[in-house]
């Protein structure tokens, strides 16, 4: 068969599957196709829900509408080019995607970045976290019908994006991390501006405290909605703030010994015992505050020195395999990199992204909830489509 | 048999029946469209933007004041799309039904001693009755669109409008008891003469009927489908509910209907609780200046409408939305018992004062 024939059969099969879903289930209730084009899925996630009245009796997420084949593409790019690709996985916290991959490559080559580079990496990593999570803090309001918080989020996120831009040259996709260190040093006056921006972010967090967390309607909509018990979260591999909101005290920034600067500052891992949507919001709010504190401490203790270790001009990663994972804004992100010692890129690169595991709990979580709560739960799980589909 | 003389005059203008009727229709259209436009520009465009630390439309006209014209022109140019499986006639008629119910509210709202289209003896009853007709249009739109989101939105809207009709009516009962009349014009006059513990000159019922005012504002918010009661058109869940499949002019009619109803309900609220076109010092007996008197009354009423609308929109831009069941529970468990207590207290107080 030719390519077009394959396409034709695939199309017919998918149409038949769609028709079958509608016919079989229509008899028992209503099937609602949320997505791939729907305002609540912020991207192209499709969720098929079967409804009895407004109650969900069965739900199935259908990812893959944005699959870009990054794992395969990594095999035909060299190490320097891969960072450009993986910037686009979690597009709101791009810099945080680069770090674990570069750390994996460094680990294979047996080099370590100098302390200054480690500090700056950590600062930018936490900035990516703020850029990512502050949008969530506003977006959760939009999903629940409050329009104002998201504008405040965009307003204050701008300060962080400006800082990332002035340091790296890219607002959303910095592509700044290099094997052995960083591309450039920080520009002059950056540290002062950074501290100012952190104060703004903290006042933004206080605003969110007033506007949403303290709001009776918000609490009514989120408390006890979409409860993930601790053991279920562990079984499904839920990670990051979602796991910490279920009372799992697990944070790779603290628990994993990485050549990054978190160990040099004083900060706290926030957990919440409830595991509901409110807990997930609350944990992320506290994490944003904690991130500003981490950045301020790192700015104060920034050591002098080179920003790049001695690395050969022509990078050749020796034979071997390694798995490095970090605590990204969305959860545990890991790269399993296999190198065959050839001068090109990785032989195989498996990307473990947090959102993919986090939405795997959706069918379990959505059973028996009402349609408005579907939106609350999806918003509070907080996934990025690029992070699900890569 | 001839029609009574009142049917042939409007604002002191005498004329043939159809001429006077055309004048009345023009007045209602002008007020309704102008009011809706003012709401959209002042509150939706500007107040919302400034509350969200942005400027809103700034390009079309000074401070974006012509933005509305541009929007209307845009909607008029759009294709009028019918979904393939839609029930065409019902689908086409639904926006008209909604808009009709809105326009009919304006008929009884007095904006001056004589500036009222029809001074019905049962004015407030009529207004509340016709305002609930819009639910038929909403259900028609939701059902005929052949879209699941529209259907869910339409059913939610119907449930909500019916649930909040009751607190709205019961909130008004307190005022009606105090005024002793269902006529909106008489309610305004009785507010003008209203005395609290022998002290007069307030010109409004909001002081004794503050519970009623609160209930009315909440119920009006729900009737209008504004956040926190915007579950029927919740964008993040059911796209835009019963309006999802509408485009162009028909969507515009729904949109105008929403804000024109807002203006009308705020007008009723201003008339019932804030004294309508009357304000302390208003010369009820200004001899020859009849036209000036009507115009001042209109201005006063619009100012009071803006106060009520400000409260409604302030809440709209601040709160997240209730869930469907929470919204129903709020109406049946809290608002309706509270309004019944309000009626009881008003009745006891009225008897005590008069006894």
Contact call for A39 and B235, based on CB within 8 A: yes
pLDDT of res. A295: 92
Contact call for B236 and A370, based on CB within 8 A: no
Nearest chain B residue to A53 by CA: give it: B152
pLDDT of res. B341: 93
Which residue, among A32, A225, A371, A373, would best test binding to B if mutated, counting the most B CBs under 10 Å from its CB?
A: A371
SS3 A62: strand
Number of helical (H) and strand (E) elements in chain A, helices listed first: 16, 8
pLDDT-based confidence at residue A27 (cuts at 50, 70, 90)? low
Q: Is B322 on the interface with A (CB under 8 A)?
A: yes
Contacts of B47 (CB under 8 A, 6+ apart): B310, B313, B317
C-alpha–C-alpha distance, residues A221 and A204, integer Å: 22
Range B170-182 average pLDDT: 88
**Residues of chain B numbered 105-124 and touching chain A (CB < 8 Å):** none
Whose structure tokens read 């690169």? A349
Examine the pLDDT at B234 and tell me if it is beyond 60. Answer: yes
Q: Point out which residues pair with A370 in neighbouring strands.
A: A55
Could you give the ipTM of this predicted complex?
0.77
Length of chain B: 355
pLDDT of res. B4: 47
Q: How many CB pairs under 8 A join A and B?
A: 81
Whose structure tokens read 């007033």? A210
pLDDT of res. B240: 80
Global pTM value: 0.82
Whose structure tokens read 């959102």? A355
pLDDT of res. B2: 46
List the strands of the sheet with A30-34, edge to edge.
A30-34, A46-52, A55-62
Length of chain A: 390
Smallest Cβ–Cβ distance between B52 and the set A32, A151, A379 belongs to A151
- What is the distance in angstroms between the Cα of A374 and the nearest Cα belonging to chain B? 8
- What is the distance in angstroms between the Cα of A151 and the nearest Cα belonging to chain B? 6
C-alpha–C-alpha distance, residues B204 and B38, integer Å: 25
Report which DSSP code applies to A370: B
Examine the pLDDT at A147 and tell me if it is beyond 50. Answer: yes
Q: Is A281 on the interface with B (CB under 8 A)?
A: no
Which residue, among A138, A144, A226, would best test binding to B if mutated, counting the most B CBs under 10 Å from its CB?
A: A144
Which residue, among B49, B320, B324, would best test binding to A if mutated, counting the most A CBs under 10 Å from its CB?
A: B320
Q: Is B52 on the interface with A (CB under 8 A)?
A: yes
Examine the pLDDT at A5 and tell me if it is beyond 70. Answer: no
Contact call for A370 and B323, based on CB within 8 A: yes
* pLDDT tens-digit map of B82-126: 888 888 888 888 998 988 888 888 888 888 877 788 788 888 999
pLDDT of res. A3: 56
Show the DSSP H helices in A182-326 as ranges. Answer: 190-208, 216-222, 230-236, 241-244, 252-255, 277-300
Contact A9, A34 (CB under 8 A): no
CA distances from A54 to A18, B77, B227, B320 (A): 21, 36, 20, 20
* pLDDT tens-digit map of A148-160: 888 999 888 899 9
Determine how many CB atoms are found less than 10 A away from the CB of residue A59.
Answer: 22
CATH fold of A70-389 reads Cytochrome-c3 Hydrogenase; chain B (1.10.645)
Contact call for B237 and A371, based on CB within 8 A: yes
Contact call for A145 and B51, based on CB within 8 A: no
Smallest Cβ–Cβ distance between A217 and the set B148, B237, B320 belongs to B320
C-alpha–C-alpha distance, residues B188 and B172, integer Å: 14
Examine the pLDDT at A28 and tell me if it is beyond 70. Answer: no
* pLDDT tens-digit map of A257-274: 888 888 888 888 989 888
Nearest chain B residue to A152 by CA: give it: B52
Q: B169 vs B117, which has greater pLDDT?
A: B169
- What is the distance in angstroms between the Cα of B83 and the nearest Cα belonging to chain A? 17
pLDDT of res. B206: 76
pLDDT of res. A10: 61
Nearest chain B residue to A149 by CA: give it: B52
pLDDT of res. A285: 92
**Residues of chain B numbered 203-242 and touching chain A (CB < 8 Å):** 227-228, 230-231, 234-239
pLDDT of res. B327: 85
Q: Is A143 on the interface with B (CB under 8 A)?
A: yes
Smallest Cβ–Cβ distance between A215 and the set B54, B231, B320 belongs to B320
Smallest Cβ–Cβ distance between A144 and the set B48, B148, B320 belongs to B320
pLDDT of res. A19: 54
Q: Is A236 on the interface with B (CB under 8 A)?
A: no
- What is the distance in angstroms between the Cα of A339 and the nearest Cα belonging to chain B? 45
For residue B8, give the nearest of B31, B30, B27, B24 by alpha carbon.
Answer: B24
Q: Is A374 on the interface with B (CB under 8 A)?
A: yes
pLDDT-based confidence at residue A4 (cuts at 50, 70, 90)? low
Report which DSSP code applies to A308: B
Examine the pLDDT at B53 and tell me if it is beyond 50. Answer: yes
C-alpha–C-alpha distance, residues B156 and A217, integer Å: 18
Using H for helix, E for strand and C for coil, what is the string for chain B? Answer: CCCCHHHHEECCEECCHHHHHHHHHHHHHHHHHHHHHHHHHHHHHHHHHHHCCCCCCCCCCHHHCCHHHHHHHHHHHCCCCCCCCCCHHHHHHHHHHHHHHHHHHHCCCCCCCCCCCCCCCCHHHHHHHHHCCHHHHHHHHHHHCCCHHHHHHHHHHHHHHHHHHHHHHHHHHHHHHHHCCCCHHHHHHHHHCCEECCEECCCCCCCCCHHHHHHHHHHHHHHHCCCCCCHHHCHHHHCCHHHCCCCHHHHHHHHHHHHHHHHHHHHHHHHHHCCCCCCCCCCCCCCCCHHHHHHHHHHHHHHHHHHHHHHHHHHHHHCCCCCHHHHHHHHHHHHHHHHHHHHHHHHHHHHHHHC
pLDDT of res. A371: 82
**Residues of chain A numbered 28-87 and touching chain B (CB < 8 Å):** 30, 32, 38-40, 54
Examine the pLDDT at A376 and tell me if it is beyond 90. Answer: no
Q: What angle do CA B132, B136, B140 make, to 5 degrees?
A: 155
Report which DSSP code applies to A185: P
* pLDDT tens-digit map of B264-275: 999 999 998 888
pLDDT-based confidence at residue A294 (cuts at 50, 70, 90)? very high
Contact B96, B105 (CB under 8 A): no
Contact B163, B324 (CB under 8 A): no
pLDDT of res. B5: 47
Contact call for B321 and A215, based on CB within 8 A: no
Smallest Cβ–Cβ distance between B321 and the set A39, A145, A148 belongs to A145
Nearest chain A residue to B325 by CA: give it: A370
pLDDT of res. A291: 92
* pLDDT tens-digit map of B62-85: 888 888 888 889 988 988 888 888
pLDDT-based confidence at residue B326 (cuts at 50, 70, 90)? confident
Contact call for B320 and A373, based on CB within 8 A: no
- What is the distance in angstroms between the Cα of B319 and the nearest Cα belonging to chain A? 5
Own/partner contacts of B43-48, CB < 8 Å, gap of 24 or more, are: B43/B309, B43/B310, B43/B313, B44/B259, B44/B313, B47/B310, B47/B313, B47/B317, B48/A147, B48/B313, B48/B317
Using H for helix, E for strand and C for coil, what is the string for A327-362? Answer: EECCEEEEEEEEECCCCCCCCEEEEECHHHHHHCCH
Contact call for B325 and A370, based on CB within 8 A: yes
Q: What angle do CA A286, A289, A292 make, to 5 degrees?
A: 150
Nearest chain A residue to B234 by CA: give it: A145
Contact call for A39 and B317, based on CB within 8 A: no
């Amino acid at each position: 068969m030719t390519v077009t024939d394959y396409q034709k059969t695939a199309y017919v099969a998918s149409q038949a599957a769609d028709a079958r879903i509608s016919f079989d289930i229509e008899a028992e209730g209503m099937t609602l196709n949320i997505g791939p084009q729907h305002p609540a899925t912020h991207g192209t996630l499709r969720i098929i829900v079967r409804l009895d009245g407004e109650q969900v009796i069965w739900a199935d997420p259908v990812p893959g509408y944005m699959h870009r084949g990054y794992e395969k593409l990594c095999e035909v790019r060299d190490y320097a080019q891969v960072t450009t690709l993986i910037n686009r996985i979690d597009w709101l916290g791009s810099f945080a995607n680069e770090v674990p991959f570069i750390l994996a490559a460094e680990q294979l080559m047996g080099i370590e970045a100098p302390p200054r580079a480690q500090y700056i990496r950590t600062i930018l990593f936490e900035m990516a976290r703020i850029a990512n999570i502050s949008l969530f803090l506003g977006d959760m309001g939009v999903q629940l019908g409050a329009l104002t918080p998201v504008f405040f989020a965009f307003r204050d996120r701008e300060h962080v994006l400006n800082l990332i831009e002035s340091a790296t040259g890219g607002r959303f996709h910095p592509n700044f991390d290099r094997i052995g260190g960083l591309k450039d040093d920080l520009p002059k006056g950056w540290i002062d501006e950074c501290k100012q921006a952190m104060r703004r972010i903290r006042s933004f967090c206080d605003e969110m405290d007033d506007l949403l967390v303290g709001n009776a309607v918000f609490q009514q909509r989120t408390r006890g909605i979409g409860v993930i018990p601790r053991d279920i979260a562990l079984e499904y591999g839920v990670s990051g703030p979602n796991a910490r909101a279920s009372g799992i005290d697990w944070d790779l920034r603290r628990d994993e010994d990485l050549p990054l600067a978190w160990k040099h500052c004083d900060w706290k891992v926030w957990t919440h015992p409830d595991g509901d949507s409110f807990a997930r919001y609350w944990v992320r709010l506290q994490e944003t505050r904690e991130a500003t504190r981490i950045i301020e401490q790192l700015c104060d203790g920034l050591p002098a020195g080179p920003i790049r270790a001695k690395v050969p001009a022509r990078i050749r990663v020796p034979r071997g395999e390694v798995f490095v994972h970090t605590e990204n804004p969305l959860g545990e992100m890991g790269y399993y990199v296999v190198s065959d010692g050839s001068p090109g890129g990785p032989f195989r690169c498996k990307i473990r992204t947090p959102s993919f595991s986090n939405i795997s709990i959706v069918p379990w979580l959505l059973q028996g909830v009402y349609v408005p709560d579907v939106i609350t739960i999806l918003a509070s799980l907080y996934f990025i489509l690029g992070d699900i589909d890569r | 048999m001839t029609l009574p003389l009142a049917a042939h005059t409007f604002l002191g203008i005498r004329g043939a029946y159809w001429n006077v009727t055309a004048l009345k229709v023009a007045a209602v259209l002008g007020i309704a469209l102008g009011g809706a436009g003012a709401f959209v520009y002042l509150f939706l465009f500007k107040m919302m933007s400034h509350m969200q630390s942005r400027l809103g439309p700034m390009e079309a006209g000074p401070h974006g004041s012509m933005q509305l014209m541009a929007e209307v022109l845009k909607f008029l140019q759009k294709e009028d799309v019918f979904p393939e499986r839609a029930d065409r006639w019902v689908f086409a008629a639904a926006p008209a039904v909604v808009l009709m119910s809105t326009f009919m509210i304006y008929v009884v709202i007095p904006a001056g001693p004589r500036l009222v289209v029809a001074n019905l003896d049962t004015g407030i009853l009529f207004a509340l009755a016709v305002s609930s007709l819009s639910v038929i249009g909403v259900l028609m739109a939701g059902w005929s669109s052949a879209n699941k989101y529209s259907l869910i939105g339409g059913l939610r809207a119907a449930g909500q409008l019916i649930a909040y009709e009751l607190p709205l009516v019961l909130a008004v009962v307190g005022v009606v008891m105090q005024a002793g009349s269902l006529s909106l014009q008489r309610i305004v006059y009785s507010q003008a003469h209203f005395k609290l513990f022998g002290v007069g000159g307030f010109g409004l019922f909001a002081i004794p009927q503050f519970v009623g005012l609160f209930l009315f504002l909440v119920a009006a918010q729900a009737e209008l489908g504004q956040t926190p009661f915007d579950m029927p058109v919740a964008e993040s869940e059911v796209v835009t509910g019963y309006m999802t499949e509408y485009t162009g002019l028909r969507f515009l009619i729904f949109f105008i209907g929403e804000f024109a109803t807002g203006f009308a309900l705020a007008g009723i609220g201003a008339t019932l609780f804030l004294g309508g076109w009357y304000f302390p010092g208003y010369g009820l007996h200004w001899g020859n200046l009849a036209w000036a008197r009507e115009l001042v009354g209109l201005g006063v009423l619009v100012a009071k409408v803006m106060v009520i609308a400000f409260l409604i929109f302030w809440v709209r831009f601040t709160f997240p939305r209730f869930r469907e069941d929470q919204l129903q529970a709020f109406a049946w468990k809290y608002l309706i018992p509270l309004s019944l207590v309000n009626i009881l207290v008003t009745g006891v107080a009225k008897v005590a004062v008069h006894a």
